[in-house]
Amino acid sequence: MENKTKITALLIIMAAIVAGIYLSLPVVYAEVTPTGNGQYTISLQYRRRAWLGLNLLRNGVPETLDGDAIAVDRAVLVLEVEENQVNIILPNKWIVDGQVINRSELFDGDPLSIGESQTISLKTLKLELTRSTHTVQVFVAYEILVDGVTIKAMLPFNIQTS
């Protein structure tokens, strides 16, 4: 009888630990942002990034985009492709001529610049989600070709297309 009580107590403690972890993870991964007037917005940024990354690796299709860079803001590059504006997610670190640079340094005029009629070619992974009323396309760049220079994203994995 004593062993049965110990096993039951151990199972209750393990269930409490698992329940505690399960209930606290959303709070741990949540990002709290002040919106003003003493209010805050809670977002699950890390879960969205993980979801996007996994879907991109599982279902992403290689696609090359050629166009002119017309704007860049943080991680998004706006590329004009055949009179359409395409938003492309840029990784943070890039390798140019053997040197690692941030994406903010990438468009400071050398090697790339915004607004000048400089056609660039981007190799991307494309994820397309289609619903009955709309289609969402996500492009993540991993290589840039401009004026004979190849600029590669510094990622924790390698992308090889066939």
Which of 12-26, 56-70, 94-108 bottoms out in mean pLDDT, i.e. has the lowest?
Answer: 12-26
pLDDT band, very low/low/confident/very high, at 143 (cuts 50, 70, 90) = very high
> In this predicted structure, what is the pLDDT of residue 64?
94
Kindly report the CATH number assigned to the domain that includes residue 88.
Answer: 2.40.50
Residues 72 and 37 in one domain: no
Q: Is 141 inside any structural domain?
A: yes
Q: How confident is the model at residue 27, as a pLDDT?
A: 47
Indicate if 65 and 31 belong to the same structural domain: no
Q: For residues 67 and 22, state if they share a domain.
A: no
Shared domain check, 140 and 97: yes
70 close to 86: Cβ distance less than 8 angstroms: no
Range of the domain at 38: 2-43
The CA R_g of the chain, rounded to the nearest whole Å, is 23
Residue 100 lies in a domain: yes
Q: How far apart are CA 160 and CA 162, in angstroms?
A: 7
**What 3-state DSSP class applies to 9?**
helix
More confident residue, 102 or 22: 102
Query: What pTM did the predictor assign?
Result: 0.66
Within this chain, do residues 78 and 145 fall inside the same structural domain, yes or no?
A: yes
Query: Structural domain tally of the chain?
Result: 2
Q: Same domain, yes or no, for 39 and 69?
A: no
Burial of 1 (0-12, 13-18, 19+ CB in 10 A): exposed
